[in-house]
Every structure is written in structure tokens, then in C-alpha cells.
């Protein structure tokens, strides 16, 4: 259910990282990217004792034997046979008063996605969750387990209503599931009873989980392709020394210009944005003019904008960051500012997947920070 990275992308990344011509920060970023694409995504299933997390973890693993359980801070990964390239980690939360920081134990597992199992998200749970970093909360689901039992007691709808307010600010989504029914709908090879699987809530959970997995993997693949396009073409052939003005960088710039040119940003990108090996002050001035052209009609406030307005704004920010990367590449600029542009490209690319007000505000802020960086170059 999860996309596997194309072998040629991994091979190209590996070859580029083996070269001696990458800047240090670019190499570190490339290694992190290669590591993410080569390793399975980590799904953490956690929650208080008795919340049904073991049954849910076993369901996602798709096997009869329960996944291995680690003590707090000592997670054990179990490969899923239903979700390819996914490792499931079940983590018991520490009991209240034990002195073990539950949020720290969660963060130590380095999860990509979190499923927090609950029967009501009690005060103790909320206290632990409040200390979990926000970047993890953005990829976390609150799973109301044993939904069939709650329905028989006549409290399911009220429980869901109580939790929706929490989910609005603390989780990505709220998903109820009758895990026992879902397990009955499964067999050793997959889903045996689709109707029961859907009624149990497992189909909705599997779909949401698959969608988040695909988004995360697609973002990494997009970042990998961007990294290969930016650094692969600029690398000289084995044994070829790098000399200023030898034309190798110019060819890389031409390749990039074909992939991203001023026409991609329409009226927001001035015609003189494409440059080659300009002096640093001229480069900074041109970058500022390009950013001013893009940002001049940005909204003063992002809050309250509809989703169909947020998405184009994020896409413009992503194209602007990539255009800045092209300017840096064509000018063969290195150092902290070039590294900042590279990192901003990565961050804005991930933000475009969120498609919400917070992501748009963060993307605009990153562009303004880059502008200040270019402005400082002019002063210097």
C-alpha cells in the first residue's frame, strides 16, 4: 500500500553523495534524504494500558502473532505485511507517577506517524500529549478503539463529540474503530469481508493511514528528485577538475532553466531573474526583486482564507523557493545563504502537502527570511 522509491533515484542519490564536490550541508541533507527513502516508515501505536493498542498494532501488522512490545524508550519494530515498507512500534505509556516522561519516550521512537489509542483521552493522556512536539502532532491520529463496545453502551456518539474539540487542535483526525470486528474481517492474506471491514471503521483508518504514508513518501521522492536535478548535473565527470568558467555549471543552469523558468511563475517573476555567475551583490539585488514581485500581492492575513486559496499560495511559495535555488546554482554561490535556500526548498516542499493556514504562513515566513538574508548581503 506504500510507494517504493524508484531504484534509479536512490542510485543517483548514492552516486552524488559519493562525490567529493558537494557542500557539507548539502551532503548532510542528502544523507538524511537517502536514509529516509531507504528505511521503512515508522508507525507508533501508543496509548494507556487497556486502550486496545495491542489489537490495533496486530491488525496493522497483518499477522496473528502480536508485535513485539518495548518498554518506554525501548521500542521494537515489527514489519507490516499489509503496508509495504512500514514498521509498527507498539509503546506502552508509563503509569502516572512513575517519573518516566511519556512524551520523551514517544519522541525517542522517531515516529513518522502516530496512532494514539484511547477510550476517552483522559486528563493523564492529555498531560503527556501536551508535551509532544507539534511536528509529530501534525501526523498523529486519535483512534477511539473498542467502538463496538461503546456503541452497545450507548455512549459512542457522545464520546466522539467530546473528542472532536480536542482533535481540532491536537491531532490530524479522529478515527473510531471496532478492532475485534476488523480482525474478524481479515485473514492471513488481507481483507476477507470488505463490508464488515468497512463497518468496523478499519477501512476508513486504513485509507487515512495509506494517504498519509503516500504523502510522506511522495514528499521525500520529490525532494530527492529536486536534489538530484540540482546537484547531479553540476557534478563533473570523474577525473575532471572544476575550473571557473569551464562551462560545466552553465550547462547545469540550462538544464534547470528548462525545468523551471520565469514563465512558470507568470507575472510574478521578473524577466531578469535568470542569471549566470553574477557578482554576489547583483545576485542579491536580483533575488530581492524577484521575491518582491512574487510577494507584493500576498494577503496581509492568511487566517480565514479558504482551502482553494491556500493551495495556490503554497504552490507559488514552492516555485519561488525553487527559482531562488536556480539563481544560487547558476551563480555558483556557496555558504550559509545557499544552504538556507536549500533547506527552505525542502521545508516549503513539505508544507505544500499540508494545505492549511499554518503551512501557508510558515512558507511565506521562510521566503521573507530568505529575502532578509539577501538584503544583508547587499549591506555587507
Res. 169: pLDDT tops 80 = yes
DSSP state, residue 206: H
pLDDT at residue 179 in the model: 92
- Higher-confidence residue of 351 and 66: namely 351
pLDDT at residue 153 in the model: 93
CA distances (Å), 83 to each of 68, 73, 252, in order?
17, 24, 38
pLDDT digits (tens, 9 = 90+) for 111-165: 999 999 999 999 989 989 998 888 788 889 999 999 999 999 999 999 999 999 8
Res. 46: pLDDT tops 80 = yes
pLDDT at residue 88 in the model: 94
Q: pLDDT band at 265, cuts 50/70/90?
A: very low
| pTM attached to this predicted model | 0.62
pLDDT at residue 38 in the model: 87
Q: What is the mean pLDDT of residues 68-84?
A: 72
- The DSSP line for 301-362 is --TT--HHHHHHHHHHHHHHHHHHHHHHHHHT--SHHHHHHHHHHHHHHHHTTT-SHHHHHH
Distance CA 54, CA 78 (A): 12
pLDDT digits (tens, 9 = 90+) for 174-188: 999 999 999 999 887
Taking 3-state DSSP, the helix, strand and coil percentages for the chain, each rounded to the nearest 5, stand at 60, 10, 30
Distance CA 242, CA 225 (A): 24
Distance CA 220, CA 5 (A): 9
Q: Lowest-confidence range among 76-85, 175-184, 185-194, 217-226?
A: 217-226
pLDDT digits (tens, 9 = 90+) for 8-42: 888 888 888 888 777 777 788 888 888 888 889 99
- Closest listed residue to residue 44, CA positions, set 139, 160, 120: 139
Domains of the chain: 8-36+216-236 (no CATH), 40-200 (3.40.50.300), 247-380 (no CATH)
Q: What is the mean pLDDT of the chain?
A: 76
CA distances (Å), 250 to each of 9, 207, 253, 300, 322, in order?
23, 46, 5, 38, 17
Res. 315: pLDDT tops 70 = yes
Are 81 and 34 in contact by the 8 Å Cβ rule? The answer is no
pLDDT at residue 280 in the model: 63
pLDDT digits (tens, 9 = 90+) for 267-297: 333 333 333 334 567 778 888 888 887 766 6
44 Cβ neighbours under 8 A, 6+ residues apart: 75, 89, 91, 106, 109, 111, 113, 114, 115
Amino acid at each position: 500500500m506504500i510507494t517504493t522509491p524508484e531504484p534509479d533515484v536512490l542510485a543517483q542519490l548514492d552516486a552524488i553523495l559519493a562525490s567529493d564536490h558537494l557542500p557539507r550541508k548539502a551532503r548532510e541533507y542528502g544523507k538524511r534524504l537517502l536514509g529516509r527513502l531507504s528505511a521503512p516508515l515508522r508507525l507508533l501505536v501508543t496509548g494507556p494500558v487497556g486502550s486496545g493498542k495491542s489489537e490495533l498494532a496486530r491488525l496493522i501488522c497483518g499477522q496473528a502473532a502480536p508485535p513485539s512490545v518495548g518498554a518506554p524508550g525501548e521500542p521494537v519494530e515489527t514489519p507490516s505485511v499489509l503496508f509495504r515498507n512500514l514498521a509498527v512500534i507498539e509503546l506502552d505509556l508509563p503509569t502516572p507517577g512513575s517519573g518516566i516522561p511519556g512524551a520523551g519516550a514517544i519522541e525517542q521512537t522517531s515516529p513518522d506517524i502516530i496512532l494514539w489509542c484511547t477510550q476517552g483521552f483522559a486528563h493523564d493522556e492529555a498531560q503527556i500529549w501536551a508535551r509532544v512536539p507539534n511536528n509529530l502532532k501534525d501526523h498523529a491520529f486519535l483512534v477511539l478503539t473498542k467502538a463496538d463496545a461503546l456503541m452497545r453502551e450507548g455512549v459512542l456518539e457522545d464520546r466522539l463529540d467530546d473528542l472532536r474539540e480536542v482533535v481540532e487542535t491536537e491531532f490530524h483526525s479522529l478515527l473510531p474503530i471496532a478492532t475485534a470486528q476488523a480482525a474478524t474481517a481479515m485473514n492471513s492474506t488481507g481483507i476477507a469481508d470488505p463490508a464488515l471491514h468497512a463497518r468496523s471503521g478499519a477501512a476508513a483508518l486504513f485509507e487515512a493511514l495509506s494517504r498519509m504514508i503516500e504523502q510522506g513518501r511522495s514528499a521525500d521522492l520529490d525532494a530527492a528528485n529536486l536534489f538530484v536535478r540540482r546537484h547531479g548535473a553540476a557534478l563533473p565527470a570523474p577525473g575532471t577538475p572544476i575550473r571557473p568558467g569551464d562551462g560545466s555549471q552553465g550547462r547545469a543552469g540550462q538544464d534547470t532553466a528548462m525545468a523551471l523558468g520565469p514563465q512558470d511563475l507568470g507575472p510574478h517573476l521578473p524577466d531578469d531573474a535568470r542569471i549566470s555567475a553574477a557578482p554576489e551583490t547583483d545576485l542579491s539585488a536580483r533575488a530581492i526583486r524577484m521575491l518582491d514581485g512574487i510577494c507584493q500581492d500576498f494577503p496581509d492575513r492568511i487566517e480565514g482564507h479558504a482551502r482553494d486559496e491556500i493551495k495556490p499560495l503554497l504552490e507559488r511559495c514552492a516555485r519561488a523557493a525553487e527559482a531562488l535555488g536556480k539563481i544560487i546554482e547558476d551563480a555558483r554561490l556557496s555558504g550559509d545563504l545557499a544552504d538556507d535556500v536549500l533547506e527552505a526548498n525542502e521545508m516549503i516542499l513539505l508544507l505544500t502537502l499540508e494545505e492549511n493556514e499554518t503551512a501557508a504562513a510558515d512558507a511565506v515566513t521562510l521566503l521573507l527570511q530568505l529575502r532578509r538574508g539577501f538584503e544583508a548581503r547587499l549591506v555587507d
